[in-house]
Amino acid sequence: MIKNIRNKKYLVICLLFITLTGCFNATKNELELKSDTNFCDFNKELIYKYDYYTKDGEQLYLRYIRKHSSNEWELEKEATGDKIITEIKFKLFPDAIINSNQKKVTMEYIAANGDIASWSMTGYYSKKDSIWFHPPRGYIFKILEHTPFPSVKKPYKIGTTWKQSVTIPSEGWSDARWKTWEGEITTNSTFEIVDIRKEKTAFGMIDCVVIDSKAVSRVGSTELKMFFNPTYGFVKLAYKNIDDSIINLTLVSFEDMDPSVIEEDIPMDH
Residue 12 in this model has a pLDDT that exceeds 60: no
Nearest C-alpha neighbor of 60 from the set 254, 253, 241, 227: 241
Residue 28 in this model has a pLDDT that exceeds 70: no
**Do residue 94 and residue 222 come from a single domain?**
yes
Cα 64 to Cα 4, 49, 136: the distances in Å are 76, 16, 15
3-class secondary-structure state, position 22? helix
pLDDT band for position 108 (cuts 50, 70, 90): very high
Q: Give a yes or no: residue 126 inside a domain.
A: yes
pTM for the model? 0.86
Cα 241 to Cα 46, 52, 148: the distances in Å are 23, 11, 10
Nearest C-alpha neighbor of 85 from the set 111, 57, 50: 111
Determine the structural domain holding residue 6 and report its residue range: 1-30
**Do residue 60 and residue 93 come from a single domain?**
yes
Residue 267 in this model has a pLDDT that exceeds 80: no
Q: Give a yes or no: residue 269 inside a domain.
A: no
pLDDT band for position 269 (cuts 50, 70, 90): low
Distance CA 56, CA 245 (A): 8
pLDDT band for position 20 (cuts 50, 70, 90): very low
Q: For 170-208, what is each residue's pLDDT tens digit?
A: 999 999 999 999 999 999 999 999 999 999 999 999 999
**Do residue 135 and residue 242 come from a single domain?**
yes
Strands (E), 22-101: 44-53, 59-64, 73-76, 85-98
**Do residue 188 and residue 208 come from a single domain?**
yes
Q: Give a yes or no: residue 264 inside a domain.
A: no
3-class secondary-structure state, position 101? coil
